[in-house]
Chain A
Amino acid sequence: MISTLRERFNIPPRGEMRRWFFAMIDNRVRIITAGLSIKELRAIMRGDPPTEKPNPRYKVITTSFIMHLRPRYYQAASTRFTHTFRLGWFTMFFFIVETITGVILMAYYIPFPDNAYESILIIESNVFFGELMRDLHRLGAEAMVIFSWLHMFRTYFTGSYKGQRTFTWLTGVILLAFTAWLSFTGYLLTWDQLGYWAITVGTSITESGPVFGPGLNIIMRGAPDIGAGGLLRFYLQHVILFPLLAILLISVHYYKVAREHSISLPAPVEEGDMEKDEKKKHTRRIDLIPDLLTHELFLTALGILALLAILYFGWFDSPLETHANPQKTPLDTKAPWYFWWLQGMLKIDPAQIIETIMGTIGIQVELSQLLNSKFIMGLIVPPTLVFILLAIPYIDRNPSRLAKNRPFAIAWGIAWIFIMLALSYMGLPQYGIETPAATRIIQDLAPEEGLGPLREIPHEELVPGIYLLADYVAGEDLCPDLAYQPRASEGDDYTVYGCPHLSEVFAEFAERLLLAEESGELPFLHAYFLIEDFQPNVKRVVPTVNWTDPDTGQEQTYDVDFFLHEDGRREE
């Protein structure tokens, strides 16, 4: 009976069991690793040369689908850290992080205005590791944008867009645009004030276009204003259309690198005059398996650790403002920071600039009717810039990649970085936008969104009463009779006397108002803080400023009601 089984399953006689058993395991390992034996794996770990001929490490690359996407080797100098800084690699890494976390988020997200915001709250409050997934997705998105920009600058400065690599550069520029568009479409999905208004302002640029502008705007928004239709369009672009397009284009982009021209050699190695031996050293092959692959696994571990550490130490927190409200334009609409340069550009009025320039040479022109600045700066200039980027390999016909041979290209690149930074600075929400003094002061105290100093006052210190500016004495505590024990947060119990936080916030409020009064912005100033118990655990705090408008002589009031629950968020 046993012998029939032996025959049936090809099991060898007793004496050879051990060998047969190892052979079977070895066979399994070869199947899983697409060609590497146990011995081979051991050799890899120990850094020994291949154990068989032909080199089984190359075999993997032909048998495995995933591995066949990779090259067999790079030349040593191309793999120098200081040549690529692994920027393209990390861009891909973040793209994969985005895909994985995105699929998980998709399981909970509902792309409909009634539910979208709530589903984000549910992810954060009811899904195990939900906040982590959201933070990873958001952080990964910002990182991917940063790394694709840096990667572009790297290939620009090393002159790696020349010759054979022209097409790779072209696909790269389009990938840059895809990356930006992916993050832009994702911005709307939280359906909070931040995303809603950033996208509303962003899409409104198309409206200024002639003839098809308004039509384009409607196609993007799904209706004159962003609503259910717009959200669904953005969602589908964000989770299906552009990820697929990006995968396709990344494949093309990488195929060129892996199969056609490889990663460029550093220019001094390629063009510099070097001893034969020296050159040989720099161009010797570094195999994908094991050297590059272990390096990449190492980078993966590093990347994941960096992401987790940033989140663990609380250095990044995904923003979430209040529910989108089409009726209420926020005081400052913020584009995502990587679009600040565009927002900054929109603050430039070319008609005015030309008028002033012509004015200085004595010619009076009236252009503001002719030149719509939103149209020019929003619809003409950015596509032109993309076009110039695309055209760089054709504009720059200089065959040399050595920095010293291309001073103009290098200077342009550096100038370009500074221009982007300057434009981004102009794009800051505060830049060039004037807010009345009273509004700015109260908003700084308690911004429409986020926390602000008022929220950081411990609940106990919000003692009901009216605190008049007229009674303000610098350095005086507003509630000398108060003594309280801060809510058991950390450490021992201790007692706070008076209300230091409230007094500090009020002092800030008072000092800024008095300055504004002195400068003539707020004549006949009269201001106060009202604090009252509105509900058992909710305080109502109303900073109020009264003044007489210097131009009209009208009395003005600016006040905002803030409701603070004792369990509300007090710190990030």
Chain B
Amino acid sequence: MKRVQLEIVLGTVFALMSVGILTVMAFDEKNRLAEFEQSQRAELIEFGAAVYEINCTSCHGSHAQGVDFVAPCLRCEELFTTRLEDIGWDGGLEDYIISVVTTGRQISTRPAEFVGGGSPAMPTWSEKLGGPLRDDQINAVAAFIMNFEEWALNPDAIPTPIEEVAAVDDPVARGFTLYNQFGCGACHTISRLSAGIVGPALNGIATRAATRVDGLSAEDYLYESIVLPSEYVVEDFLDNLMPPNFVDLLSEDQLQDLIAFLMTFEEE
């Protein structure tokens, strides 16, 4: 065989092999597209979880369980069943979430239950309106919240959270985690840590606590402020805003950890 002929034969064989590969790929392509879409949705949810973790836990709780008096539960039945009707929203839930998160909430629709950060109750999140999040991040966090549906409709399936904080052997570090987990920062300001304005700032609280109530040590006063907030109401602030149920939510050890954390903030 001459070289030209050999090349024609081989070239034809190669071309046929290419067509073969393309055919095999084409048969699998529908499958691949579906799989890709599924894993893409999964990754969107993972990404949304990370966005939630960074931006939303301070008000809505570490596991979206909500914080009493601050912000609603985002993994509970109400949001997935009656909420849209109550608020008069015609579209779907995912769109509702995207819309609320994009614009935030100037005034809470349930001021008695959830004050959030005061005014606005929830800040604007969209970059386009001056917030910190891009559209794709908002879409992701909405996909993440939607993924709670199964638990929302069947709350028994929700596992009790793992005592993450117990593993840390430093009470102050544990206290800081609790401070975030229970949404204290939504109402209280501590420089560089949180910026809530509903309650008094806690900078220098260790020093102040010692002088608040005669006969109570700083630790005892802090204990009382958290467990029985109405016993002593700080001047210029309203009674009954600080949730009275921390005593039920926090174990004795956790209370001690929180106090250890707050005791690190002395007046300069």
Chain A nearest Cβ from B268, distance in angstroms: 19
- Pairwise interchain contact A129-B40, C-beta atoms closer than 8 A: no
Given contacts A305-B18, A312-B21, contact A565 B45 (CB under 8 A): yes
A45 to chain B, nearest CB (A): 7
Task: Assess whether B32 is interfacial by the CB under 8 Å rule.
Answer: yes
Residue B38 contacts which of A121, A531, A567 (CB distance < 8 angstroms)? A567
Contact partner of B29 among A129, A294, A300, A309, CB < 8 A? Answer: A129
CB < 8 Å: which of A290, A528, A555, A563 contacts B167? A528
Whether a CB of chain B sits under 8 angstroms from the CB of A260 is no
A322 CB within 8 Å of chain B: yes
Residue A11 at the chain B interface, CB threshold 8 Å: no
- Please determine whether B168 and A546 come into contact, CB atoms closer than 8 angstroms: yes
A294 x B8 contact (CB < 8 A):
yes
Q: List which B73-91 residues lie within 8 A (CB) of chain A.
A: 75
Chain B residues within 8 Å of A464, by CB = 159, 162
Beyond A294-B7, A530-B167, whether A568 also contacts B157 by CB under 8 A is: no
**Of residues A44, A537, A569, which shows the largest number of chain B Cβ atoms within 10 Å of its Cβ?**
A569
Asked if A126 is at the interface of the complex by the 8 Å CB criterion, the answer is: yes
Q: Is the interface of A mostly helix, strand, loop or mixed?
A: mixed
Kindly state the separation between the CA atoms of A125 and B8 in the bound complex, as whole angstroms: 38
Q: Give CA–CA (A304, B13) in the complex, Å.
A: 12
User: What are the residues of chain A within 8 A of B5 when measuring CB–CB?
Assistant: 45-47
Is A132 interfacial (CB-CB < 8 Å)?
A: yes
**Nearest CB on B from A238, distance (A):** 22
Partner of A128, one of B33, B151, B164, B166: B33
Chain A residue at minimum C-beta to C-beta distance from B169: A526
Query: Given B2, B15, B37, B159, which contacts A47 in the complex, CB threshold below 8 Å?
Result: B2
Distance in Å from the Cβ of B4 to the closest Cβ of chain A? 5
Q: Which residue of A lies closest to B5 (CB)?
A: A47
Contact in complex: A129, B26 (CB < 8 Å): yes
Stretch binding the partner chain, chosen from B47-55, B95-103, B116-124, B257-265: B47-55
| A121 partner residues in chain B, CB cutoff 8 A | 40
In the complex formed, the residue of B with least CB distance to A557 is: B173
Residues of chain B contacted by A301 (CB below 8 angstroms): 10-12, 14-15, 18
- Cβ contact within 8 Å between B41 and A532: no
- Which residues of chain B from 219 to 237 have a CB within 8 Å of any chain A CB? none
**B134 vs chain A, min Cβ distance (A):** 7
- Is B113 part of the binding interface, using a Cβ–Cβ cutoff of 8 Å? no
**Chain B at the A interface: mostly helix, strand, loop or mixed?**
helix
B266 within 8 A of A: no
B33 and chain A: residue at smallest CB distance: A125
Q: Does A291 contact B (CB under 8 A)?
A: yes
Once bound together, how far apart are the Cα atoms of A117 and B170, in whole Å? 43
Bound Cα distance A158, B219 (Å): 85
Q: Is A131's CB under 8 angstroms from B4's CB?
A: no
Q: Counting CB contacts under 8 A, is B136 at the interface?
A: yes
Assembly CA distance A466 to B161 (angstroms)? 11
A540 — which chain B residues lie within 8 A by C-beta? 49
A536 within 8 A of B: yes
Which residue of A has the minimal Cβ distance to B38? A567
Q: B14's contact among A117, A302, A323, A569, by CB below 8 Å, is which?
A: A302
Residues of the B chain whose Cβ atoms lie less than 8 Å from the Cβ of A569 = 39, 42-43
A305, A312, A534: residue with the most chain B Cβ atoms closer than 10 Å = A534
Look across to chain B and name the residue whose beta carbon is closest to the beta carbon of A464: B162
* 8 Å CB interface, A451-484 against B: 464-466, 468
**A131 touches which one: B14, B17, B32, B136 (CB < 8 A)?**
B32
Given contacts A47-B2, A312-B24, A534-B63, contact A563 B50 (CB under 8 A): yes
* Interface status of B147 (Cβ within 8 A of chain A): yes
Contacts of A536 in B (CB 8 A): 147-148, 150-151, 157
**Would you give 19 A-B contacts (Cβ < 8 Å), ordered by A?**
A124-B36, A128-B33, A131-B32, A297-B7, A297-B8, A298-B7, A301-B11, A301-B15, A466-B164, A466-B166, A466-B167, A530-B164, A535-B144, A542-B164, A565-B42, A565-B43, A565-B45, A567-B42, A568-B43
Residues of A within 8 A of B (CB): 44-47, 114, 117-118, 121, 124-126, 128-129, 131-132, 290-291, 294-295, 297-298, 300-302, 304-305, 308-309, 312, 322-323, 464-466, 468, 526, 528, 530-538, 540, 542, 544, 546, 555, 557, 561, 563-569
- Which residues from chain B sit less than 8 Å from chain A, CB to CB? 2-5, 7-8, 10-12, 14-15, 17-18, 21-22, 24-26, 29, 32-33, 36-43, 45-47, 49-50, 53, 63, 75, 134-137, 144, 147-148, 150-151, 157, 159, 161-164, 166-170, 173
